[in-house]
Amino acid sequence: MKALRFYAPEDVRLEERPEPECGPDEVKIRVRSCSTCGTDVKIFHNGHQNLTPPRTIGHEIAGEVVEVGSAVEATFDQHWEIGDRVQVIAAVPCGDCYECRKGWMAVCENQTSMGYQYEGGFAEYMVVPRQVLKVDGLNRVPDGVTLDEASAAEPLACAINAQEQLGIEKGDVVVVFGAGPIGCMHIRVARGVHGCGPVYLVDVNADRLAMSAAFARPDEVIDGSEVDVVARVMELTGGRGADVVITATAAKVAQEQAIAMAARNGRISFFGGLPKTDPVIGCDSNVVHYRQLHIHGANGSAPEHNKRALEYISTGQVPVADLITHRIPLEDALSALDLVRSGTAIKVTVNP
């Protein structure tokens, strides 16, 4: 089979590999869609501390079951059949640590990941490891949902995880920093699930803003390279500020502006992590104190968020099909990473 393998930073190769063998407590799938994201580009350039090369990368995975291990049903009380359409979680909790037992699987201290510790989805075939099955992380794709859409359920699950912490209410003013696919998903979750009020989308790239706005249809776009973002949000809200601010970008200035523009009792999600070499921001503690702000981190998702993402896609509450602007065959997977890097696409899927 063909697989995209990471060897070292900027040494990623499309290779012929033997098909993986399915163990007794594993499920083998034929990968049909593996979506790409900015993390894949970071891995290409820099590698990752949790990724031991050589490794097949790709973590937004959907496909069809082709083999079921003999012990799967008895071990995990799960019944799978050949041909079942499935989606695979990316972040894999251990299920046993304090956080997992508390139900906080998104922050499992022993978390592993597809495409990092396990072989990923940029391949024709993949084995779903026992740890994924143990935490109920292999999900049936609902009827009417394509496998391309199902592969987008993983980033959508991350947005769901972040927003369930924010208590978004009907009519709330929401600001989203970052005009990428995850920014579009945040807008759609805030509206389709929580019924928020006006949504403002912020970025510093005018072309990117225009492209994403055509899909997500925010009430206004704000080009941070042209205007004072905080002043504009204050103007739009009559001086009150935003009820909810989500920073879906790895920019310090976005986090600092989020604090400055938040309304009293405002909720802020630091959704995008900052570079490890420069992670410290300026924060006026008195603004946080006197406005009674709530600042939340957001780290990936739990298995339950993936199930909810598939449900939202299935019901139409959060459509994702139109966000998939490019479909690339596995043979050209490196060009998919180039598209993501260039910012000229919304969501790019690789179809083995």
Question: 75-113: per-residue pLDDT in tens?
Answer: 999 999 999 999 999 999 999 999 999 999 999 999 999
Q: How confident is the model at residue 25 (pLDDT cuts 50, 70, 90)?
A: very high
Average pLDDT of 108-132? 97
How would DSSP label each residue in 38-68? HHHHHHHHH--TT--SSEE---EEEEEEEEE
Return d(Cα 213, Cα 219) in angstroms, integer: 9
Average pLDDT of 123-138? 98
Report the chain's mean pLDDT, rounded to a whole number: 97
pLDDT of residue 281: 97
- Dihedral sign, CA of 57, 59, 63, 69? positive
- Separation in Å, CA 148 to CA 139, 183, 214, 280: 14, 19, 21, 37
Average pLDDT of 118-127? 98
Whether residue 181 sits in one domain with residue 90? no
pLDDT of residue 239: 98
Is 17 within a domain?
A: yes
Whether residue 173 sits in one domain with residue 121? no
pLDDT of residue 214: 96
CATH of the domain at 238: 3.40.50.720
Is 283 within a domain?
A: yes
CATH of the domain at 16: 3.90.180.10
Is 328 within a domain?
A: yes
Average pLDDT of 180-195? 97
pLDDT of residue 40: 94
Is 305 within a domain?
A: no
Whether residue 267 sits in one domain with residue 168? yes
Whether residue 24 sits in one domain with residue 116? yes
Is 147 within a domain?
A: no
Q: What residues are paired with 85 via a beta bridge?
A: 64
Whether residue 234 sits in one domain with residue 174? yes
54 prior amide bond cis, ω within 30:
yes
Nearest CA-CA partner of 121 in 109, 110, 111, 132 = 132
Token look-up 């995975």 returns 61
Nearest CA-CA partner of 5 in 55, 60, 58 = 55
Whether residue 119 sits in one domain with residue 52? yes
pLDDT of residue 88: 98
pLDDT surpasses 90 at 276? no
Average pLDDT of 152-175? 97
How would DSSP label each residue in 88-152? E-SEE--S-SHHHHTT-GGG-TT-EEBTTTB--SSBSEEEE-HHHHHTT-EEEPPTT--HHHHHT
Owning domain of residue 268: 159-297
Total domains in the fold of the chain: 2
Average pLDDT of 291-300? 96
